[in-house]
């Protein structure tokens, strides 16, 4: 660990989310003075644990509120911004495109405009996009020069996030870089409609896991601790000339189908007798998405530190502890049977 973050004033949007809570924790551990933008009070978020809250500054507000963003950046003399805040659930976006566009698109230009207004302070801005920004392509894996052609509401919001970010770089020379990651997973994600937390919870409760698609969709899955490392490494290179105005894919480059992933989780947890229920109800989803991360390897010498199995096992241990703490467990809750 180097001293790069010691004493830096860092602003994190979406700090109560999966990536935001882990990133905030690591920034604090490295000595940064972290200010978090939080819209809703989410008691189950890792950020809301007393030990975490005591070490950060909290701004209650929304990305749609430009005045709030400007005040926070200015008053706390922020030099580094991690823009992670967004509506991230594909199904929610399909049900309410307007609220998704408000938070993800308007929220992005509001934040970047506030960064521009505080240009004498801001040294680096990392904007979280997504592999969904690419939309559907016949040629895979995605490289960073693939067209951004989202079609469904969430995908479109991320395509726009990308384009707005680069507009602020090319027009105003704002020191922005964009990340495009695969599907993040890890302890702390309590949206059990997502595949990995839902499957782990079902396995711990000895229930059949639910697959909402037909099971054939192919994705990258990216452990949150590796994502934190990628974000920090990229931020430390800004505002270097080679990195500003650039997008970087981050992931494991090991695409897997939904059915295969569920089977892998059940095997690791010793619960192969639980036959998944396939609902085949997924809509507004792209059948195949996975990333080429050679640019990050080439320019940053970056690679993930965790194998898929290591990440899944750590996540499963976190969920087991959470179920016990929360009282949500049943009498049938058993320990993990780790297959290595």
Share of the chain above pLDDT 70, in %: 94
- Residue 113 is assigned to a structural domain of this protein: yes
CATH assignment of the domain containing 129: 3.40.50.720
- Residue 280 is assigned to a structural domain of this protein: no
Q: What is the pLDDT of residue 290?
A: 95
> ∠ CA 23-231-158 to the nearest 5 degrees?
100
Which tokens is 315 given? 């996540």
- Residue 124 is assigned to a structural domain of this protein: yes
Rounded CA Rg of the chain: 19
Question: To the nearest whole number, what is the mean pLDDT of the chain?
Answer: 91
- Residue 2 is assigned to a structural domain of this protein: no
This prediction has a pTM of 0.93
| Residue 151, number of CB atoms within 10 A of its CB | 12
Q: Which residues contact 114 (CB under 8 A, 6 or more apart)?
A: 66, 69, 70, 73
- Residue 49 is assigned to a structural domain of this protein: yes
Looking at the annotation, which residues are catalytic?
Answer: 154
- Residue 305 is assigned to a structural domain of this protein: no
Q: What is the DSSP letter of 132?
A: G
Q: What is the pLDDT of residue 340?
A: 35
Q: What is the mean pLDDT of each run of 10 residues along the chain (340 residues)?
A: 88 94 95 92 72 84 97 98 89 87 97 98 97 93 96 94 98 98 94 94 95 93 98 98 98 96 97 93 84 98 96 96 74 42
Tens-digit pLDDT profile for residues 29-52: 999 999 999 987 777 777 767 666
Tens-digit pLDDT profile for residues 114-151: 999 999 999 999 999 999 999 999 999 999 999 999 99
Q: Which residues contact 246 (CB under 8 A, 6 or more apart)?
A: 144, 177, 178
- Residue 192 is assigned to a structural domain of this protein: no
Q: What is the pLDDT of residue 4?
A: 96
Q: How many domains does the chain have?
A: 1
Domain that holds residue 35: 9-182+224-250
Rounded to the nearest 5 percent, the helix, strand and coil shares of the chain are: 40, 15, 45
Contact at 8 Å (CB) between 76 and 53? no
For the chain, where are the alpha helices, taking DSSP H only?
18-29, 50-53, 66-75, 90-95, 97-101, 107-117, 153-172, 195-204, 224-237, 258-268, 294-300, 308-326
- Residue 293 is assigned to a structural domain of this protein: no
Residues in a beta bridge with 9: 33
> ∠ CA 276-279-282 to the nearest 5 degrees?
120
Q: What is the pLDDT of residue 281?
A: 84
């Amino acid at each position: 660990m180097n001293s790069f973050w010691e004493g830096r004033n860092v602003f994190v949007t979406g700090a109560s989310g999966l990536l935001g809570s882990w990133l905030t924790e690591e920034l604090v551990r490295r000595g940064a003075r972290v200010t978090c933008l939080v819209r809703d009070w989410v008691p189950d978020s890792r950020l809301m644990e007393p030990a975490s809250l005591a070490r950060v500054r909290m701004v209650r507000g929304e990305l749609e509120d430009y005045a709030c963003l400007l005040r926070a950046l200015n008053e706390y003399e922020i030099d580094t911004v991690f823009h992670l805040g967004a509506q991230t659930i594909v199904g929610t976006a399909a049900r309410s495109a307007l609220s998704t566009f408000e938070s993800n698109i308007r929220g992005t230009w509001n934040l970047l405009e506030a960064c521009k207004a505080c240009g004498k302070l801001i040294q680096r801005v990392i904007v979280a996009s997504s592999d969904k920004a690419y939309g559907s392509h016949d040629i895979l894996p995605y490289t960073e020069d693939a067209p951004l052609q989202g079609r469904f509401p969430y995908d479109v919001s991320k395509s726009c996030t990308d384009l707005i970010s680069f507009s602020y770089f090319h027009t105003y020379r704002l020191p922005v870089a964009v990340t495009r990651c695969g599907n993040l997973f890890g302890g702390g994600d309590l949206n059990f409609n997502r595949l990995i937390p839902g499957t782990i919870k079902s396995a711990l409760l000895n229930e059949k896991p639910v697959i909402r698609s037909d099971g054939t969709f192919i994705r990258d899955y990216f452990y949150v601790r590796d994502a934190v490392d990628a974000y920090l490494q990229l931020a430390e290179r800004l505002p270097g000339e080679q990195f500003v105005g650039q997008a970087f894919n981050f992931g494991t480059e090991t695409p897997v189908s939904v059915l295969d992933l569920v089977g892998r989780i059940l095997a690791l947890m010793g619960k192969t007798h639980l036959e998944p229920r396939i609902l085949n109800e997924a809509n507004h989803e792209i059948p195949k998405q996975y990333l080429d991360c050679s640019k990050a390897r080439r320019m940053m010498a970056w690679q993930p530190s965790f194998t898929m199995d290591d990440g899944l096992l750590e996540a499963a241990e976190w969920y087991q502890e959470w179920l016990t703490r929360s009282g949500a467990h049943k009498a049938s809750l058993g320990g993990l049977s780790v297959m290595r």
